[in-house]
Amino acid sequence: MAVAVRSLQDQLEKAKESLKHVDDNIRKLTGRDPNESRPGQIRRLGGPMAGPGGGGRGRGINLLR
């Protein structure tokens, strides 16, 4: 049992290290921390293209009318 736990811990550490490299690459390319939230990037559910339920662009059925 201890061997299996140790193996899983090793795999977890390797995955974390791999993701750290991905985060570093994103930081280099975009100039910002990929984990920080960006205010103003919240999706709006309403708007001119929203259907009666406010859920996006719909299926385009009204285009035929």
Reported as a single tens digit per residue, the pLDDT across 13-55 is 999 988 888 888 999 999 988 888 777 666 655 555 555 555 5
Dihedral sign, CA of 39, 42, 44, 45? negative
pLDDT digits (tens, 9 = 90+) for 12-23: 999 998 888 888
Q: For residue 33, what pLDDT is reported?
A: 86
Cα separation of 52 and 65, whole Å? 17
Query: Which residue type is seen at 48?
Result: P
User: Which pTM was predicted?
Assistant: 0.41
Asked whether 15 and 8 are in contact (CB, 8 A), the reply is no
